[in-house]
Structure 1
């Protein structure tokens, strides 16, 4: 019995020792696993944070490009960032958060104190850096799309400006025509023809004035959209406006000159008629000649006397009247009154 008791106590002690050893091994295994989990986030954290710091300056670069092709390449690069470069980093961030939460849970179950990473390597630091990255990314996308729309609008406006400005920049014979003084030696019918031609030119000029206003509006919008070659556009627009102002000034001067010439012609005719025949005391030209000539000048006698013969007819009438005897002229003037119903002399009676 003594031996049996000794063997019993020996085997019982060995079993307790084995149980204790197993417990110790389990504790060590848990500690090693916790230490491994605590060390794993460090390289992942550093790599992710470095990528964020490297990406943010690239997204903050908002340098405006002049050409649409360059901005299209930037848009393609941004799409590549969104679809290729960013997804692995998103996965790493998610894995980092999972590892950190798992470690804290195991430490809590093992009655260990919570894991506290070193300063600047906390999960909250990653979350804040990632939030800043997404804000910069959103701003970059909005800026990129705005710039592309702006360049598209600029391309449309520059093409429209060229189409409207090119015809206006062509120097035609307008200035030379407006500077002519062909009216100085023109007859009455020629002056009328020149005035009709000038009125047609003024109508055409007014119709094109709207085009000049559109060109100025396009140039202003190009400046507001910060067009890179705005100086050239402003120069062309100013040249067009100056050219149009010159045409307007010359047009008004020519109209004034034609009006002056027309008044001079009428005053000359009235001056010649005012001298009258000898001894007539002005009654003849007031009674017949002046009304008849003014009737012709107003255009009512065009069918009776062609316009190109007006000067000749007037001169002939004056010569005939000036050389008629005084008695004859007085009879002509008194004829319709004294004899009643006598026909008024026609203008052909005084022509050669």
Structure 2
């Protein structure tokens, strides 16, 4: 725009110089404006992409968390417990493992999900966009509602485990009492059998009378102990009715003792 002779003079052409400077200024001012506008557009697009990414993350996390919650509820509602004291103690240990190890990270994840949802809404509001609406079933209130069901299922399972554990403890104690009494009854039967086998019926009237009195004494003792054998049968029935895990062995032992007693 400027020729050398226009400015290489004692009095340069001021109009030409002003025109050049003006055009120079407008040219670079336009470039700056365009660059600023491009940066603003890039910034907005970047925020939109970030927002969309956060929304995708929210939906994936919410979906996975809800899946875990409902699968866990199904497991917690299962009442097919082991039929033994040892098995129930293991079941209680597994339940405590769930409460102290498995569940806490999921609770933390739920809190982080809630914070992410709040951040998404805040960013949308700052950009003048409408509130974010997740797909049906993935709202935070859906997650909170599912978590409340999880807490109830957990509490119900704890009650059920404790009740079954106490039942198994009671059955184990009853089984121990049964075996203790069964040992006494068997010992008594062996002693009676030994006495009968060694008994001499005698050859004289006095010896026969003595033998008869001894037999009568044994018979009276047998009748006197009838309630004790009935108690053994009652304990066996209780254990079998309550599905004690060794009820078959209990029943077999009780039958053997009673058959020996009545014979």
CA contact (8 A) 1:103 1:115 kept: yes
**Which is bigger in relative contact order (C-alpha 8 A, separation at least 6)?**
2
- Structure of larger gyration radius: 1
- SS of residue in 2 equivalent to 1:40: helix
CA contact (8 A) 1:183 1:194 kept: no
Post-superposition shift, 1:74? 3.0
Q: Could you tell me how far apart the structure 2 residues matched to 1:241 and 1:42 are? A: 69
Q: Could you tell me how far apart the structure 1 residues matched to 2:204 and 2:166 are? A: 61
Post-superposition shift, 1:93? 1.1
Is 2:130 the counterpart of 1:96?
Answer: no
Counterpart in the other structure of 1:186 = 205
Q: Could you tell me how far apart the structure 2 residues matched to 1:106 and 1:184 are? A: 115
- SS of residue in 2 equivalent to 1:228: coil
Post-superposition shift, 1:233? 2.3
Specify every segment of 5 or more residues in structure 2 that has no aligned partner in the other structure, as ranges: 1-14
Counterpart in the other structure of 2:232 = 215
1:1-352 equivalent positions in 2, closer than 5 A: 17=33, 21=37, 27-28=44-45, 30-169=47-186, 170-173=189-192, 177=196, 186=205, 191=209, 194-195=212-213, 197=214, 200-201=217-218, 204-246=221-263
CA contact (8 A) 2:83 2:245 kept: yes
Q: Could you tell me how far apart the structure 2 residues matched to 1:144 and 1:58 are? A: 13
> What are the Cα deviations for residues 31-74 of structure 1, in whole angstroms up to 9, with x where unaligned?
34433332221232233234334434443443332443333333
CA contact (8 A) 2:85 2:169 kept: yes
- Measured on the aligned residues, the alpha-carbon RMSD in Å equals 4.2
Q: Could you tell me how far apart the structure 2 residues matched to 1:82 and 1:61 are? A: 16
TM-score normalized by the length of structure 2: 0.68
Paired positions, count: 241
> What are the Cα deviations for residues 108-161 of structure 1, in whole angstroms up to 9, with x where unaligned?
454322211223433333334333333333333333333332332222222221
TM-score normalized by the length of structure 1: 0.53
Change beyond 3 A, Cα 1:103–1:214: same
Q: Could you tell me how far apart the structure 1 residues matched to 2:203 and 2:140 are? A: 96
